[in-house]
Amino acid sequence: MSVDFQVLLYYLFVRLDDPESIAEEQRSWGQELGLKGRIIVAEEGINGTVSGPREAAQEYMRRMASHPSFSATEFKIDDHDGHVFRRLSVKVRPEIVTLGETVDVAADTGTHLSPADFRAKLDDPDALILDIRNDYEYEMGRFRGAVRPPVETFKEFPAWLREQFAEAKNRPVLTYCTGGIRCEKLTAFLRREGFEEVYQLHGGIMTYAKDPEVRGEGFEGDCFMFDDRLSVPVGPPVSKCEKCGEASSRYVNCANVDCNRLYFLCEACETAHGLACSEACAASVRTRLRNARLAPLLRADGKRLRQRRHRAKVRARTTESEQPHTI
């Protein structure tokens, strides 16, 4: 496999007075350098994942390092054999990651822990380890002993934590996410709510996986990625093919477009039985013919995907008796 491309994952909380002109500059750099990916700019900073030929990725990082606003940006860098996005999208949004709460990251964010310090804290029996990602990310892989609150979206964490987590205010709380950005905001929220000891994994799972000292220890399964890679392996597999039970972190959407349920299915079982998640779904008329895996849907519209998944879940709950979702 040639590794002539690099994937960059990064964010920086920094006050930007004119996000529109920053977005314009990012767009022209991206076009000039041949980068693809997603960049979000807001008054609170920048958040991006981009892929490009190695030289282009290096040049992008050089430009960021000498930019008056972005010199402090830390990049998580992965080698890859091609682009992991189809196009470049640069958008201005109210937040670089949507929590829906006004928090002061600079003043309140939780203590950053290096992978080694985070690893050590995982052994504290008093510590609450909080996975603040989506359920489908958690199901693919997570830190041993981590709790994932039963909420649908990142925006719902604050209300849940406020109501259900209040008794934990004097216990150490450890949060983690893919690259660290969600932790920056959520730990700022926790501290503002009066949680005394709040820690976040610096650089997220991506940094933890590569750290030469911890090498992913304590993490089980793969890390979900919001790009064509879908996942990168970190620890021993935890997810299993729903049909044969073999270890698999291969997410597919059910062939029945009205179900569209996201589930683990190994390649052999797809070849043998197709993409339908149940016999009822296999008999459905409105099926897709080929594997339309998760990434294109997320690319097209993450919100619509979540709504569909939510509707599928509601349907599954209401029709559970006559429509089994596993074979």
Distance of CA 172 to the CA centre of its chain: 24
Q: Is residue 312 near Zn ion by the rule CB under 5 A?
A: no
- Nearer residue to Zn ion within complex by CB, 103 or 254: 254
The one among 72, 244, 247, 283 contacting Zn ion by CB under 5 A: 244
DSSP state of 183: H
Closest distance between Zn ion and the C-beta of residue 259, in Å? Answer: 3
Tell me 168's DSSP state: G
CA 217 from centre of chain? 19
| Least distance from Zn ion to the Cβ atom of residue 262, Å | 10
Residue pair 130/142 in contact by the 8 Å Cβ criterion:
no
Please identify, using beta-carbon distances, which residue of 234 and 281 lies nearer to Zn ion: 281
CB of 82 or CB of 237, closer to Zn ion: 237
For 67, counting Cβ atoms within 10 Å of its Cβ (0-12 exposed, 13-18 middle, 19+ buried), the class is middle
**Rg for the chain, CA atoms, rounded:** 20
Segment interacting with Zn ion (CB under 5 A) among 155-163, 168-176, 180-188, 239-247: 239-247
> Is the separation of the CB atoms in 254 and 275 below 8 Å?
yes
Concatenate the DSSP letters of all residues of 90-144 into one string: EEE-S-SS--SS---HHHHPPEEE-HHHHHHHHT-TTPEEEE-S-HHHHHHEEET
Stretch that binds Zn ion, among 88-96, 126-134, 191-199, 266-274 (CB under 5 A): 266-274
**Which residue number, 190 or 262, has a Cβ lying nearer to Zn ion?**
262
Mark 78-117 with x for binding to Zn ion (rule: CB under 5 A) and - for no binding.
----------------------------------------
259 touches Zn ion by CB under 5 A: yes
- Which of 114, 150, 112, 148 is closest to 132 using CA atoms? 148
Distance CA 168, CA 159 (A): 15
Window 273-292: residues binding Zn ion (CB under 5 A): 277, 281
**Known catalytic membership, residue 177:** yes
Work out whether 266 is an interface residue with Zn ion (CB under 5 A). Answer: yes
Q: Which of 254, 275, 294, 298 binds Zn ion (CB under 5 A)?
A: 254
Residue numbers of the site for Zn ion (CB under 5 A)? 241, 243-244, 254, 256, 259, 261, 266, 269, 277, 281
Active site residues: 177
